[in-house]
């Protein structure tokens, strides 16, 4: 038999209990007796009803000793409350942090970069206003310094080709057609105006800074013509028979793409009229244009320079002769006129332009673009195997003249003071 009782709420009944339910036999066991049938049918509903009745009685005991006892038993454990708060505040491991970016490249670069590790920057070699000459091959750097200190390697930013009147007319016609098409489209769309797409901005060219020479950049044909005339006339400033006369604007342009208004017209026209570079004046019917902004090839760099070294006609040359002299494996790829210049350059021995610009090589690569540094190495010396002049000699002679002039002025000043 099971009995459930609670203390009496009345003060006069202390120590007594009041029975709520009497049941014959355990709740979970089988029932017997005359009421076993009805109780057996009500058995599934006894336990839920009992729990509900218990909760109602407890709630009715608020403020009584029973309520206080039950309240104390139902209070949470302080340690469990603290642990529960910590667990509630802990971040969910399954969800990513809201403020932490994934794969942040800036953070990766900061962690990978060691500020104390030195970078492999080239040795800074300066001349004039340029500070990047250390990027050139080490053996060519002195040539660059000498020529730049003399102010002979003038570098100008590339010039955009001027639009011809025909191009302007075509552009106007195209613009008119596009306007008509847009008007027709707007009319077909019930008078609703159409938005003209904004033109795509043209990216700014990668122009060098004022202190950048870019020695390893490919030199253009106009740059080399400018340098060639300037260096030759400076080296032979006191020998009129070796100087080249610049072209004048009153002369008809030799090349169709180098007009009198071109900033390098004087140099290009002068070299063409002197027969230094192939042109219609030398009988070359295939060189009607000069292509001033095209890269200068190795074969043209030798072809223009060697005649100013030898000061005589170029010798006859064959492919076997060049192969035997230089050992070039690609001698068959060199054009006949350039082949003559290559063979004549070999006759200069250790003063050959090829040795000074390219060091030892068994490949000439005639159509490869020459760099500014290689062009400077070629222009550093003029002359043949027995006599010549270098940029270093010009610098030293200028310094000597300056020192001698200062000495003479000092002596004159001292004599006047006496």
Query: What confidence tens digit (pLDDT) does each residue in 168-197 have?
Result: 455 555 555 545 555 555 454 545 555 556
Task: Tell me the per-residue pLDDT of 285-342, one tens digit each, with 9 for 90 and over.
Answer: 778 999 999 999 999 999 999 999 999 999 999 999 999 999 999 999 999 999 999 9
Evaluate if residue 268 carries a pLDDT over 80. yes
Residue 225 DSSP class: H
Neighbours of 47 (CB within 10 A): 11
Do the beta carbons of residue 13 and residue 5 sit within 8 Å?
no
Do the beta carbons of residue 238 and residue 255 sit within 8 Å?
no
Do the beta carbons of residue 192 and residue 185 sit within 8 Å?
no
- Choice between 246 and 9, residue whose per-residue pLDDT is larger: 246
Q: C-alpha angle 230/236/237, rounded to 5°?
A: 80
Query: Among 8-12, 34-38, 108-112, 150-154, which is the least confidently predicted range?
Result: 108-112
Neighbours of 31 (CB within 10 A): 17
pLDDT recorded at residue 239: 95
Closest CA to 311 of 368, 266, 244: 244
Q: Please state the domain extents for the chain.
A: 2-57, 136-155+210-397
Six token digits for residue 29:
């066991």
Beta strands 2-7 and 388-390 are: unpaired
pLDDT band (50, 70, 90) for residue 412? very low
Question: Whole-angstrom Cα distance, residue 326 to residue 323?
Answer: 6
pLDDT recorded at residue 174: 52
Q: Which residues contact 8 (CB under 8 A, 6 or more apart)?
A: 14, 16, 17, 18
Do the beta carbons of residue 348 and residue 384 sit within 8 Å?
yes
User: For the residues 388-417, what does the mean pLDDT come to?
Assistant: 62
Distances (CA, A) of 327 to 322, 324, 346, 362: 7, 5, 11, 6
pLDDT band (50, 70, 90) for residue 93? very low
Cα dihedral sign, 176-177-179-184: positive
């Amino acid at each position: 038999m099971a009995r459930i009782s609670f203390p009496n709420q009345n003060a006069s009944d202390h120590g007594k209990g009041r029975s709520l339910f009497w049941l014959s036999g355990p709740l979970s066991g089988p029932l017997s007796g005359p009421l076993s049938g009805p109780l057996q049918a009500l058995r599934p509903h006894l336990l839920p009803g009992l729990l509900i009745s218990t909760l109602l009685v407890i709630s009715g005991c608020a403020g009584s000793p029973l309520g206080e006892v039950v309240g104390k038993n139902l209070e949470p454990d302080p340690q469990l409350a603290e642990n529960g708060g910590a667990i509630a505040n802990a971040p969910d491991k399954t969800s990513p942090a809201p403020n932490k970016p994934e794969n942040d490249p800036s953070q990766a670069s900061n962690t990978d970069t060691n500020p104390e590790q030195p970078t492999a920057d080239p040795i800074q070699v300066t001349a004039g206003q340029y500070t990047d000459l250390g990027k050139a091959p080490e053996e060519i750097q002195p040539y660059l310094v000498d020529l730049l200190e003399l102010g002979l390697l003038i570098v100008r930013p590339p010039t955009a080709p001027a639009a011809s009147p025909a191009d302007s007319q075509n552009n106007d016609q195209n613009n008119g057609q596009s306007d008509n098409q847009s008007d027709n489209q707007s009319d077909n769309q019930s008078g609703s105006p159409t938005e003209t797409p904004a033109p795509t901005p043209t990216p700014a060219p990668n122009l060098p800074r004022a202190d950048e020479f870019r020695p390893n950049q490919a030199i253009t044909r106009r740059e080399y013509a400018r340098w060639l005339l300037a260096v030759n006339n400076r080296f032979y400033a006191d020998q009129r028979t070796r100087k080249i006369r610049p072209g004048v604007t009153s002369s008809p342009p030799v090349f169709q793409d180098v007009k009198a208004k071109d900033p390098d017209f004087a140099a290009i026209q002068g070299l063409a009229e002197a027969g230094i570079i192939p042109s219609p004046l030398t009988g070359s019917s295939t060189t009607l244009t000069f292509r001033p902004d095209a890269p200068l090839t190795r074969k043209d760099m030798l072809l223009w320079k060697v005649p100013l070294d030898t000061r005589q006609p170029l010798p006859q040359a064959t492919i076997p002769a060049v192969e035997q002299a230089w050992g070039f494996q690609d001698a068959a790829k060199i054009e006949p006129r350039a082949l003559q210049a290559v063979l004549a350059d070999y006759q200069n021995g250790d003063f050959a332009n090829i040795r000074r610009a390219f060091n030892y090589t068994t490949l000439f690569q005639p159509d490869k673009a020459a760099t500014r540094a290689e062009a400077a190495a070629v222009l550093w010396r003029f002359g043949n195997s027995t006599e010549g002049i270098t940029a270093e000699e010009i610098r030293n002679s200028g310094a000597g003249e300056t020192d001698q002039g200062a000495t003479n002025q000092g002596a004159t000043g001292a004599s006047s003071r006496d």
